[in-house]
Amino acid sequence: MFYVYHGEDEFSRSEEVAQRKQQVMAAGMGDLNITELDGRRLTFEELVNACQAVPFLAERRLVIVHDLLQRFDGARAARGRRAATDGARAVSTADAAFAEQLVAYLPHMPPSTRLVFVDAKALNASNPVLKAAQRSKDGFIKLFTVPEGRALDNWVRERAQQHGAPITPQATELLTAAVGANLRQLDRELAKLAAYANYARDISAEDVRTLVQATRESDIFGLVDSLGARRREEALRHLEELLADPDAHELYILTMIARQVRLILAAKELAEEQGQGVDAVQRELRLSRRFIAEKVISQARMFRMEELEALLRRVAELDQAIKTGQIEGPLGLEMLIVESCRQGARRQGRPPAPRRATRRQPSRKAARTR
């Protein structure tokens, strides 16, 4: 038998794979009959060798292959040339050959082997292994999509019940607003909240306010909000909070700023130029909450279109400067904020805020320990 697990919901995918592992380990031989392979570098011969191996003192053997099948998206293109179909990336001749060999091999795999393909993105409908799984009685497919809107609320409620404490609608809204659709973090927060409720009462909105900190994404939202209002000192405080997070690399922060600016650009076009309402903006931008769409539209009103485009250009220039070592990341981000606020104030006819005394940006390590 073989399984295709694909889609962007990393948390649910990982849980499904963990269950498969546990079933094999329950036979009493630990992980001796489990093999995990990196599909990005895997060859057909290596995969066959793993699948043909005989289980050690057990009936079943589990072979897990990560991120192989996305190599085959578009592999129906003729071999001997590079091409892409259904919007997929070009597939090399070697990958196309690999896909053909694999599809031919799957029906002849030993019955003792359970082969699990795990891909971190949704595969194209034309993927040859996906189509083989659809045709075969021994093939199983599961698509893992990140829940949005009401589906996300339902997921939170069900997960809270599993942790032993129901959650109120108000607490659900606050929690998803703070964490977003990061299911792994939501699960951690729910476990913490259930323990705080002593597994004896509903998780309340006040519990969420007390225990759950805003995510980096919401901090980025606040930073861009401050930029739009030209509140330089406030934007710089947001930046300092982000830089104090050891997991938030400067380039990650820059990427998230760019993402938020692109959302604002898209919302501005939809709401102001096309006259679309909040619900349409939420749907088109795939935002998990209506109030988030309202907030993005509100941010769009703070900027002119040319200001957003100029900010994106400055972000791209800073990204290149950081990567080539022309400037340290924290200093570059601070200069980006200062310059953006000054330019915006000039366009609005307001005198720019007095510039802070220049100081040498502390090292990243020092910034984290402040």
- The CATH number assigned to the domain holding 189 equals 1.10.8
Q: Can you give the pLDDT at residue 150?
A: 87
Residue 355 has pLDDT above 90, yes or no: no
Domain that holds residue 350: 216-368
- Same domain, residue pair 279 and 197: no
- Same domain, residue pair 72 and 25: yes
Query: Of 211, 226, 256, which residue constitutes the final position of a domain?
Result: 211
- Same domain, residue pair 133 and 183: no
- The CATH number assigned to the domain holding 349 equals 1.20.272.10
Q: Can you give the pLDDT at residue 354?
A: 47
- Same domain, residue pair 184 and 119: no
User: Is the pLDDT higher at 282 or at 155?
Assistant: 155
Count of the separate structural domains present in the chain: 3
pTM: 0.61
- Same domain, residue pair 353 and 226: yes
10-43 residue pLDDT tens: 999 999 999 999 999 988 778 899 999 999 899 9
Query: Of 211, 237, 258, which residue constitutes the final position of a domain?
Result: 211
- The CATH number assigned to the domain holding 77 equals 3.40.50.300
* Cα 146 from Cα 183, distance rounded (Å): 8
Q: How many CB atoms lie within 10 A of CB 264?
A: 26
- Same domain, residue pair 51 and 15: yes
- Same domain, residue pair 276 and 161: no
Considering only 56-70, 110-124, 274-288, which range has the smallest mean pLDDT? 274-288
Percent of the chain whose pLDDT exceeds 90? 52
- Same domain, residue pair 206 and 234: no
- Same domain, residue pair 224 and 325: yes
Query: Of 143, 164, 184, which residue constitutes the final position of a domain?
Result: 143
Residue 129 has pLDDT above 80, yes or no: yes
- Same domain, residue pair 199 and 220: no
- Same domain, residue pair 136 and 155: no
Phi and psi at 3, nearest 5°, equal -125, 145
Q: Can you give the pLDDT at residue 346?
A: 53
- Same domain, residue pair 227 and 364: yes
